[in-house]
Amino acid sequence: MQAKAPEQQRRGGHLRQRLLSMASDLPSMQKLQLQLAAAPAAASLLPALAVAALILLLATARRCSPAGSSFLDAYRSGVAIVSTPPSSTPPPRAGAGAAAAAAARVPPGCDIFKAGEWVPDEDSPYYTNLTCPLIQEHQNCMKYGRPDTGFLKWRWRPAGCELPRFDAAAFLDAVRDTSMAFVGDSLARNHMQSLMCLLTKVAYPKDISKTANPEFRTMHYESHNFTVAIFWSPFLVRGYQPDRRRHMWAIHLDEPDPAWAASGGAAIASFDRVVISAGNWFTRPAVFYESGRVVGCHYCLLPGVPDLTHRHSLRMAFRAALRVLVTAPGFGGTVILRTLSPTSHFEGGEWDKGGDCRRTRPLAAAEARARMVAGLDGDFHAAQVEEFARAKAAAAEATGGRVKLVLMDTTAAMEMRPDGHPSRYGHWAHENVTLYNDCVHWCLPGPIDAWNEMLLQMLLPGYASS
């Protein structure tokens, strides 16, 4: 036995080196965990199966960081949906709506969106970046060294009432045997990933996507037969760059994006609920088309082409998208329009001129209202609310209530949270990447988890839609 000791030590040393080598690209905390596990392995040579299990457990946190060359383009792709162990199927319930019916609700007459404030909450957050493996790298602020955690310790309180905390079991019961699609830009994906992280308290989804394109993912919760999907569509209508070198977009304002609206909306008609949102991409220089002809532009500087501004393009794009959803053959579900996430949280310069968002706590309500009403956010918000009202009236007349429209007016609450963005904490500080400070997307966990607290209330029977 003594003669074998040097051989065991040699083999244990090789094992330790292999483990530490595999840890080279893991976050520092995971490296420490692996080093602590590797040292005993070298001494006692743990059974191979146990070591393999340890490696697989730690490897679940690995993600791929996408490359990018410009601000919003850089955050466009690279979704890293990590394989997660399927949750155990919960025992049968006494009726699909039992838990949902028992969920805490806001009182009648409570407007969960407007005239509220963010109040301290020591029970937040619901999850961490270590407990949820479904966070995109660019929104994984704690992994990449954000030094403050105070921004996580707030909750949204509507005026005169309380917004109940998110109940993952109640949410899954409310959506049992249904499907939900998020249509929009990377903030729609941000919203969906927040929802999936919140649901990890109860279940993990299975990736059933029919494409390898990370912009179009479909996830299924087998325990509740709930499907959730993301459709990448930054303008909601057809938009493209004829010449990428010119950074000019061509936006066909009367042609809904075939990525989700192909064949008159057939691609989306199978979903029970559609959450539609957009905003930030409309600030780009663009030429506008209707019926295939140029009708105007935003900052195109073309002779004879009127500047209709990005306010016009956003309004017309929402009008076209909502029209398709209302008239899509076979669609009889609910359309939820989520109003824009603020575009104005850059301070100290524009997004490409050193602007950043380094605040560590919410704004006061009065300051937030002044910022929104006076700027582009207020104009975009007004256009969205007006087009929603137009589409809701059209749906009532055309479908007799078969298609329902609900407004998810999150803008006022989010205007107060300039502290919730990744800023520079969307990648390692030493990485040589071409990314700007991100004051558009939201850290996960973070303020937009409140969107899903709101969404749960909207799904419960008896919710009074706008």
Q: Please, which residues bridge with residue 117 across strands?
A: 157
Query: Is the predicted pLDDT of residue 239 greater than 90, yes or no?
Result: yes
Query: Is the predicted pLDDT of residue 15 greater than 60, yes or no?
Result: no
Q: At which residue do the structure tokens 């299975």 appear?
A: 206
Residue 192: pLDDT band (50, 70, 90) is: very high
Burial letters 132-144, b for 16+ CB under 10 A, else e: bbbbbbbbbbbbb
Give the pTM. Answer: 0.80
What distance in Å separates the CA atoms of residue 89 and residue 84, rounded to the nearest whole number? Answer: 15
Q: What's the pLDDT tens digit per position in 246-260? A: 889 999 999 999 999
pLDDT at 423: 93
What distance in Å separates the CA atoms of residue 322 and residue 336, rounded to the nearest whole number? Answer: 10
What distance in Å separates the CA atoms of residue 443 and residue 423, rounded to the nearest whole number? Answer: 9
Query: Percent of the chain, pLDDT > 90?
Result: 61
Nearest to 387 by CA among 313, 452, 292: 313
Phi, psi (deg, nearest 5) at residue 294: -70, 125
Q: Are strands 237-240 and 117-120 parallel, antiparallel or unpaired?
A: unpaired
Query: Is the predicted pLDDT of residue 90 greater than 50, yes or no?
Result: no
Determine contact, residues 287/300, Cβ cutoff 8 Å.
yes
Give the residue ranges of DSSP H helices in 151-204.
168-174, 186-199
Determine contact, residues 430/410, Cβ cutoff 8 Å.
no
- Mean pLDDT, residues 221-243 taken together: 97
- Residue 210 exposed, middle or buried by CB count within 10 Å (0-12, 13-18, 19+): exposed
- Mean pLDDT, residues 289-317 taken together: 95
What is the 8-class DSSP label of residue 423?
B
Q: At which residue do the structure tokens 């609920």 appear?
A: 273
Strands annotated E in 28-174 = 117-120, 154-157
pLDDT at 21: 41
Q: Is the dihedral of CA 88, 92, 97, 100 positive or negative?
A: negative
Q: Which of 356, 409, 438, 449 is an active site residue? A: 438
Query: Is the predicted pLDDT of residue 131 greater than 50, yes or no?
Result: yes
pLDDT at 32: 32
- Residue 290 exposed, middle or buried by CB count within 10 Å (0-12, 13-18, 19+): middle
Determine contact, residues 417/324, Cβ cutoff 8 Å.
no
Residue 436: pLDDT band (50, 70, 90) is: confident
What distance in Å separates the CA atoms of residue 162 and residue 292, rounded to the nearest whole number? Answer: 49
What distance in Å separates the CA atoms of residue 179 and residue 228, rounded to the nearest whole number? Answer: 6
pLDDT at 426: 84
Q: Which of 185, 233, 441, 449 is an active site residue? A: 441
Residue 29: pLDDT band (50, 70, 90) is: very low
Residue 179: in which H helix or E strand, if any? strand 179-184
Determine contact, residues 367/118, Cβ cutoff 8 Å.
no
186 is catalytic: yes
Residues contacting residue 289 through CB under 8 Å, at least 6 positions apart:
250, 251, 252, 253, 254, 295
What distance in Å separates the CA atoms of residue 101 and residue 391, rounded to the nearest whole number? Answer: 30
Query: Percent of the chain, pLDDT > 70?
Result: 76
Q: Which two tokens stand for residue 123?
A: 């029970």
Q: Is the dihedral of CA 228, 230, 235, 236 positive or negative?
A: negative
Residue 274: pLDDT band (50, 70, 90) is: very high
Q: Which of 65, 87, 179, 186 is an active site residue? A: 186
What is the 8-class DSSP label of residue 403?
S
Q: What's the pLDDT tens digit per position in 370-423? A: 887 778 999 999 999 999 999 999 999 988 889 999 999 999 999 999 999 999
- Mean pLDDT, residues 191-205 taken together: 97
- Mean pLDDT, residues 329-358 taken together: 88
207 is catalytic: no
What distance in Å separates the CA atoms of residue 424 and residue 61, rounded to the nearest whole number? Answer: 21
Query: Is the predicted pLDDT of residue 338 greater than 90, yes or no?
Result: yes
Helices then strands, counting H and E runs in the chain, come out as 13, 13
Q: Which of 101-110, 117-126, 240-249 has the highest mean pLDDT?
A: 117-126
What distance in Å separates the CA atoms of residue 440 and residue 342, rounded to the nearest whole number? Answer: 7
441 is catalytic: yes
pLDDT at 247: 86
Q: Which residue has the higher pLDDT, 164 or 8?
A: 164
